[in-house]
Amino acid sequence: DTEVTQTPKHLVMGMTNKKSLKCEQHMGHRAMYWYKQKAKKPPELMFVYSYEKLSINESVPSRFSPECPNSSLLNLHLHALQPEDSALYLCASSQAATGAIANYGYTFGSGTRLTVV
Amino acid sequence: DAKTTQPPSMDCAEGRAANLPCNHSTISGNEYVYWYRQIHSQGPQYIIHGLKNNETNEMASLIITEDRKSSTLILPHATLRDTAVYYCIVRVAEDSSYKLIFGSGTRLLVRP
């Protein structure tokens, strides 16, 4: 299995809703990442997890809450979002976030397209 | 902030080589250069990466200048399916982790 699987593919939520995005990989990768991509813009890094621990938070608002329950799974919990949070949310994984074994390609999922109404 | 500069758009004819340039004049000695592409807002697709030596795989070649301040991605025989946004990325270190910070990318149009 050489894929990163993201679910759901599409999500519409209200500003008072709580929802979660899920990301899964079975490549034995120990680093996982969340990116946000607005239309016609490059992906922006949100969070980096290394060995199931949060190592980088790119000053993301607290209404986005990441969770890494195990080495194969990464969640992004959403609460009280704003319409401007509508975007494509991408998950990625790599063998590691540091060290020589990090010097390989990063694998991205197809993303969850989120619309906040 | 991204450490790379790319032309916003390029085009080439189908069957010809596509040469995509990237400037990264502030790159540090141990920072890798990665190339990804993205088609129709799908997830970015890994193409190639390198540190200082030229690299080649089944998709492309990466030529890095000796001073490492710029690089060129070469698609040897472009097809219509190579139309995409191509991102040149310098992987940077922060605390104990690496991270890929995307720049603006080059929109490549392959013409029939």
What is the pLDDT tens value at each position of chain A, 117 positions in all?
779 999 999 999 999 999 999 999 999 999 999 999 999 999 999 999 999 999 999 999 999 999 999 999 999 999 999 999 999 999 999 988 777 777 788 999 999 999 999
pLDDT at B50: 94
pLDDT at A52: 94
- Say which amino acid occupies A31: A
The answer to whether the CB atoms of A48 and B97 lie below 8 A apart is: yes
CB-based contact, A50 to chain B, within 8 Å: yes
The answer to whether the CB atoms of B43 and A98 lie below 8 A apart is: no
Burial degree of A53 (CB within 10 A; 0-12, 13-18, 19+): exposed
CB interface of B with A, residues 10-39, below 8 Å:
32, 34, 36
CB-based contact, A88 to chain B, within 8 Å: yes
- From first to last of its 112 residues, chain B has per-residue pLDDT tens of 778 999 999 999 999 999 999 999 999 888 999 999 999 879 999 999 999 989 999 999 999 999 999 999 999 999 999 999 999 999 988 877 888 999 999 999 999 9
Phi-psi group of A108: left, alpha or beta (phi > 0 → left; psi -120 to 50 → alpha; rest → beta): beta
Q: Which chain B residue shows the shortest CA-CA distance from A87?
A: B41
pLDDT at A77: 98
Instruction: Give the number of other Cβ atoms within 10 Å of residue A16's Cβ.
Output: 8
CB-based contact, B87 to chain A, within 8 Å: yes
CB-based contact, B107 to chain A, within 8 Å: no
pLDDT at B41: 73
Nearest beta carbon to residue B96 from set A4, A92, A98: A98
Which tokens belong to B13?
A: 């004819």
CB-based contact, A86 to chain B, within 8 Å: no
pLDDT at B94: 84
pLDDT at A45: 96
Sign of CA dihedral A67, A96, A107, B87: positive
Interface test with B, best of A48, A52, A86 (most B CBs within 10 A): A48
Burial degree of B97 (CB within 10 A; 0-12, 13-18, 19+): buried
The answer to whether the CB atoms of B34 and A42 lie below 8 A apart is: no
Task: Tell me which chain B residues have a C-beta less than 8 angstroms from the C-beta of A111.
Answer: 41-43
Host H or E run for residue A35: strand A31-37
CB-based contact, A97 to chain B, within 8 Å: yes
